Amino acid sequence: MAGLLPSANDIDADECKGGPKAAAILDFYGPADLTLLHGRRRHPTIANWIGNGPGAAAMERNMSPVTWLAPDSPPIFIGHGDADPVVPIEQSNDLKRRLDALGLPSDLFVVAGAGHGKFAPANQSAMTVRVLAFLCARGILSSAACGTKN
């Protein structure tokens, strides 16, 4: 979420405002829209993180990365297991749809049968290759890191 916040916001501490903009966001199985989980059976971690009090709905909205998507948001790589019991894969699918609708560069890497970050070594390696390709394609990594010459 931090990479999507505009410089003028009510979330960051004053000393954190106006910092450099993220070149890209790497989202690994994170929630994108906490409001979609409101009122549903949530994983205890999310309930403990947000709470269930009267201000929970507003907090869920403010803490949801999709709230802060804008046409100038940085490119986003999304990695998610389709059997995640903590953050449903629908969160990443919805984020990808929203990014596409805004015309923002993004990539969604879905790991079949994987839970919340519990990826087999081969899947971790494949995701790393995709992440590097994603960052290289956008000129975020140096040509040396991408295996190319200037």
Q: What is the DSSP letter of 111?
A: E
Q: Taking the CB of residue 135, how many other CB atoms lie within 10 A of it?
A: 18
Position 60 in a domain? no
Q: Edge-to-edge strand order for the sheet containing 25-28?
A: 25-28, 76-81, 106-111
CATH code of the domain in which 29 resides = 3.40.50.1820
- Average the pLDDT over 125-146 and give the result: 94
Report the percent of the chain where pLDDT is more than 90. 57
Position 101 in a domain? yes
- The pLDDT of residue 16 is 65
Position 49 in a domain? no
Lowest-confidence range among 24-38, 88-102, 110-124? 24-38
- The pLDDT of residue 59 is 83
What residue numbers bound the domain in which 83 lies?
2-33+69-146
The gap from C-alpha 84 to its chain's centroid, in whole angstroms, comes to 15
Position 13 in a domain? yes
Position 51 in a domain? no
Give the SS3 label for residue 56: helix
Position 140 in a domain? yes
Position 56 in a domain? no
Position 52 in a domain? no
Of the pLDDT bands very low, low, confident and very high (cuts 50, 70, 90), residue 95 is very high
Please state the pTM of the whole predicted model.
Answer: 0.86
Lowest-confidence range among 73-82, 115-124, 141-150? 141-150
Tally of structural domains, the chain = 1
Of the pLDDT bands very low, low, confident and very high (cuts 50, 70, 90), residue 44 is confident
